A and B are shown apart, each in its own frame.
Chain A
Amino acid sequence: MTDDAPDTAADTAPDPSVVAATDALVAVPGVDPDKARAALVDVPREPGAPKPDPILVADGVVRRFGGLTAVDVDHVEIQRGVITALIGPNGAGKTTFFNLLTNFDTADSGRRTFDGQPIDEVPAHKIANYGMVRTFQLTKALSKMSVIDNMKLGATQQKGETLWRSLLPFIWKGQEADIEARAEALLDRFNMTHMRDEFAGTLSGGQRKLLEMARALMVEPTMVMLDEPMAGVNPALTQSLLQHVTGLRDQGMTVLFVEHDMDMVQEISDWVIVMAEGAIIAEGPPQSIGENQAVVDAYLGGSHGAPLDLDRKL
Chain B
Amino acid sequence: MDWGAILDNILRGAFGEQFIYFGLAAIGLNIHFGYTGLLNFGQAVFMAAGAYGLAMMVATWGLSFWIGVFVGVFVFPFILAIILGAPTLRLRADYLAIVTIAAAEIFRLIVRSPTFDEWTGSSDGLTAFADRFYEFSPFDPGQRYLFGLFIGNQMWVVIVGWVVLALGVTISWLLVRSPWGRVVKAVREDEDAARSLGKNAYSYKMQALIIGGMFGAAGGMLRAIGTQSAQPDNFITDVTFFVWVALILGGAGTVIGPILGAGILYAVLNFTDIVLRQAVNADYIPAAIMSGTQVGQVRFMLIGLALVLLAAFRPQGILGSKEEMALDDR
Chain A positions near chain B (C-beta within 8 angstroms): 1, 102, 104, 123-129, 133-136, 140, 142-145, 149, 152-154, 156, 158-163, 165-167, 169, 172, 176, 199, 201-202, 215-216, 218-219
Contacts and interface: CB of A to CB of B under 8 A. Distances in A.
B327 A201 contact: yes
B283 interface: no
B180 A160 contact: yes
Contacts of A169: 174, 178
Contact of B195 (A125, A144, A158): A125
A259 to B, nearest CB: 18
Given A143-B189, A166-B181, 17 more contacts: A104-B195, A124-B195, A124-B196, A125-B194, A127-B198, A129-B198, A142-B189, A144-B324, A145-B186, A149-B185, A156-B197, A156-B198, A167-B171, A167-B178, A199-B323, A201-B327, A219-B198
A199 B197 CA distance: 19
Given A125-B201, A163-B207, A135 B189 contact: no
Nearest to A162: B180
Q: Which of A123, A149, A201 has the most CB of B within 10 A?
A: A201
Contacts of B39: none
A153 B178 CA distance: 11
25 contacts: A104-B192, A124-B195, A124-B196, A125-B201, A127-B196, A127-B198, A128-B198, A133-B197, A136-B192, A136-B193, A142-B186, A143-B189, A144-B188, A144-B253, A153-B183, A153-B186, A156-B198, A160-B179, A161-B179, A163-B211, A165-B180, A166-B179, A169-B178, A199-B323, A216-B196
A166 B175 contact: yes
B64 to A, nearest CB: 26
B71 to A, nearest CB: 20
A133 B196 contact: yes
A161 B199 contact: yes
Contacts of A134: 196
Contacts of A145: 182, 185-186, 189
Interface string B144-188: 000000000000000000000000000100110011111101101
A136 B211 contact: no
Contacts of B179: 152, 158-161, 166, 172, 176
B200 interface: yes
Interface of B: 171, 174-175, 178-183, 185-186, 188-190, 192-201, 207, 211, 253, 323-324, 327-328, 330
A87 B81 CA distance: 45
A143 B186 contact: no
A133 B198 CA distance: 8
A172 B194 CA distance: 20
A172 B186 CA distance: 19
A290 B228 CA distance: 81
Question: Sorted from nearest, which 9 A-B pairs have the closest CB atoms?
Answer: A128-B198, A160-B179, A166-B180, A166-B178, A201-B327, A140-B193, A142-B189, A125-B195, A161-B179
Nearest to B201: A125
A132 B201 CA distance: 18
Contact of B196 (A128, A143, A161, A201): A128
B178 A172 contact: yes
B330 A149 contact: no
Nearest to B323: A199
B178 A136 contact: no
A167 B175 CA distance: 6
B330 A161 contact: no
Q: Which of A144, A199, A202 has the most CB of B within 10 A?
A: A144
Contacts of B180: 160-163, 165-166
Contacts of B182: 145, 149, 152-153, 161
A143 B328 CA distance: 8
Contact of A143 (B174, B195, B200, B330): B330
A153 B189 CA distance: 12
B185 A144 contact: yes
Q: Which of A153, A156, A218 has the most CB of B within 10 A?
A: A153
A159 B183 CA distance: 12
B252 to A, nearest CB: 11
Nearest to B178: A166
A142 B189 CA distance: 5
Contacts of A199: 323-324, 327
Nearest to A160: B179
A129 B195 CA distance: 11
A2 B198 CA distance: 29
Contacts of A176: 179
B199 A125 contact: yes
Contacts of A165: 180
A244 B324 CA distance: 30
B327 A161 contact: no
Given A153-B186, A160-B180, A161-B179, A142 B193 contact: yes
